[in-house]
Amino acid sequence: MRIIRDYQFVDPENRGASAAIGNFDGVHLGHQSVIDLARQVEPDAPLGIVTFEPHPRVHFAPHAAPFRLMSREARASRLEKLGVQRLYELNFNAALAALTPEEFARKVIADGFGLKHVIVGADFCFGKGRAGTIDDLRQFGRDMGFGVTIAPLIEQSDKTVSSTAIRKALSDGDPRLAADMLCHWHRIEGPVVGGEQRGRELGYPTANMSIEGLHPPAFGVYAVLVDVLEGPHQGSYHGVASMGVRPMFGENRPNLETFIFDFQGDLYGTPLSVALVEHLRPEEKFDSLDALITQMDADSAQARRILGAL
């Protein structure tokens, strides 16, 4: 997959794609249906995605609470697994936000990326102030020479599949419902960072990961699937993870601490992908370290049973 970030300088081989446009946070079932349409309407064209980095909401409300389901790297990895060949990752800044709908259609879609066909969701808006509608897009396509297809919204159990609905499921401690809408486990990806090594002292050494900038799932303990993405320990494992602020030790910055079953080795700096499978219990503060260890033993046994049944 090729990643193109500047619409003003696009090599000829990266033009002519059939591309879906959107934020694609989570790459859920609705997103996947739009991508499938992009593949179907122009099967001989490169399959593309036009998305934005940072997310427009971050640009307009930089101090808002973290809401993203995945990092740009995790999104790119998921899109590549779906067969995307061209990722047009637009730098969302003041200049891009100021483009009128017609300017966006001409400068970015037609003249910039030279897209052959664009596919958008039924609720798609674009241009300054989100003033452009899908009817505007169709008209611009006729005038500027690119095709336009509108993808219907996807519903599941009488509810529209959306990033908002997935965030709520995760906040409610229901990763399986989130997975149903995503069509894959919700994963937290990133490098292992240094910690206080308290888990090692307790007999439960953990791989610690930051969730900075991401929507925090319900705090507590989860059964997890772990992929070590690089290095000598590359592979897939089972484990149990704690999401939260470690109230036992007075911490206040949320992170993810994962104990990988039957594993020995150094993972500092290694990228992991941790899938949340089931929320076992809320985060809590224990009266003693012995009580904490007893509960960790029970959590591990429960997680092993759940993961063994997958």
One-letter amino acid at 255 equals: N
Contacts of 174 (CB under 8 A, 6+ apart): 279
Question: Which tokens belong to 179?
Answer: 């997975």
Q: Is 257 a catalytic residue?
A: yes
Measured CA to CA, the distance from residue 102 to residue 220 in angstroms comes to 48
Nearest CA to 44 out of 116, 132, 128, 129 is that of 116
Closest C-alpha to 47, from 107, 99, 119: 119
- Of 179, 130, 149, which Cα lies nearest the Cα of 39? 149
Find the catalytic residue in 257, 278, 283, 284: 257
Residues 6+ apart with CB under 8 A from 216: 66, 171, 243, 254
Find all residues with CB under 8 Å of 105, minimum gap 6, and list them.
Answer: 126, 127, 132, 136, 137, 140, 141, 144
Q: Is residue 123 within 8 Å of residue 164, measured between CB atoms?
A: no
Structural tokens at position 88: 């047009």
Structure tokens, 272:
């992991």
Q: Is there a contact between 107 and 7 (Cβ–Cβ < 8 Å)?
A: yes
Active site residue ranges:
257
